[in-house]
Amino acid sequence: MFNFQRFIVIFCITLVAACSSQPSVKEGSDTRASKTSPTTAGKGGYYLDDGPGDNPPADIDSIPDAQLKTETPLVSPNKPYTALGKKYTPMTRYAPYYQQGIASWYGKRYHGRKTSSGEVYDMYGMTGAHPTLPIPSYVRVTNPLNKRSVIVRINDRGPFKHDRLIDLSYAAAYKLRITSRGSGPVEVEWIDTSPEALRKMNAAPVATSTTATAITPVAYKETSSTAIATAPAAATTTTTAPTDNIESRTASYYVQVGAFKNELYGDLLQKKILGLELAGDAAVTNVYNDGIYRVKLGPFSSKKEADVSANKVRKQLNLSAIVTNQ
């Protein structure tokens, strides 16, 4: 005779056992941020079970840099988002960007998975991940220790640890020689790929891969998600805007706005500042010294006047602006 009550008890026990055997987190749902702690920090260990592929290309150094082209930012991956409890607002317009920090990389653990752009990640492609730069966008990444440089296309989000600036594909990190350590110091410069900027670049091509010009270390001050390098003023001026009897001024206050390896970026920022009249009647110059182009405003008749101009730059361009007396 069928014992219905006994059947119910056995069914419930079986159901509980089955549920307890299921993982609480779906396999493969780990976030990009979860890999940013090396298994053997400082000892050359790879992140978790990440690492180079089993059959890498014979000559990774021969893999070409990402080819610059004008692309329309994607809608979904450029919306504000939250990761590990922190809110991020991706940039939607080009602005001069130069930042120093630590780069990490990701390899076979993520090879073949979809990136934030919806594209499939290729560890041997020249790509990268950044928390706030537009997807897609292009950056030049330089290793200041050996001056090796690459151009990568940003098509993914991350890293999300506070001490990481950018995540690079295995190939990009290899070409910079930071794969053996898991991470390394880098300088990241956002490349303007608007049609106008690309036309100008075609007239004066940007250096590629390991042939980048050596760069003098500079300090930066970050005011938001956009960071611009700043450094002491230099003495040689390459371009100067028309001014109102600058020679008659006796002041020595200036506003430092940006520092770039590429003169084009300094020229574009200079024109933007002039167009918005952020310097008043003071000059806006793109100064070159020690391999760096620095944009400065001035001279101003007083520190107060310079402060006013610096505040305008910070407010309207969301850039760092430092007042100096040099």
pLDDT of residue 118: 94
Helix or strand run (H / E) with residue 255: strand 253-260
Phi then psi for residue 172, to 5 deg, are -65, -45
Contact between 121 and 127 under an 8 Å Cβ cutoff? The reply is yes
Q: Where are the domains of the chain?
A: 36-214, 227-324
pLDDT of residue 264: 80
Interatomic CA distance for residues 168 and 177, integer angstroms:
12
Cα 16 versus chain centre, distance: 48
92 Rama class: left (phi>0) / alpha (psi -120 to 50) / beta:
alpha
| DSSP assignment letter at 62 | G
Interatomic CA distance for residues 302 and 299, integer angstroms:
9
pTM score over 0.75: no
173 Cβ contact list (under 8 Å, min separation 6): 103, 105, 179, 184
pLDDT of residue 77: 95
CA atoms within 13 A on the CB side of 21: 6
pLDDT of residue 184: 92
Asked whether the domain spanning 227-324 has the same topology as the one spanning 36-214, the reply is no
Question: In a structure prediction context, what are the per-residue pLDDT tens digits for the chain, which is 326 residues long?
Answer: 555 556 555 555 444 444 333 332 222 333 444 343 333 333 333 444 565 666 778 899 999 999 999 999 999 999 999 999 999 999 988 988 989 999 999 887 788 899 999 999 999 999 999 999 999 999 999 999 998 999 999 999 999 888 899 999 999 999 999 988 888 999 999 999 999 988 887 765 333 333 333 333 333 333 333 343 333 333 333 443 443 343 334 547 888 887 777 788 888 888 888 888 888 888 888 888 777 788 889 888 888 888 898 888 888 887 778 888 76
CATH fold group of domain 227-324: Alpha-Beta Plaits (3.30.70)
pLDDT of residue 52: 65
CATH architecture of 36-214: Beta Barrel (2.40)
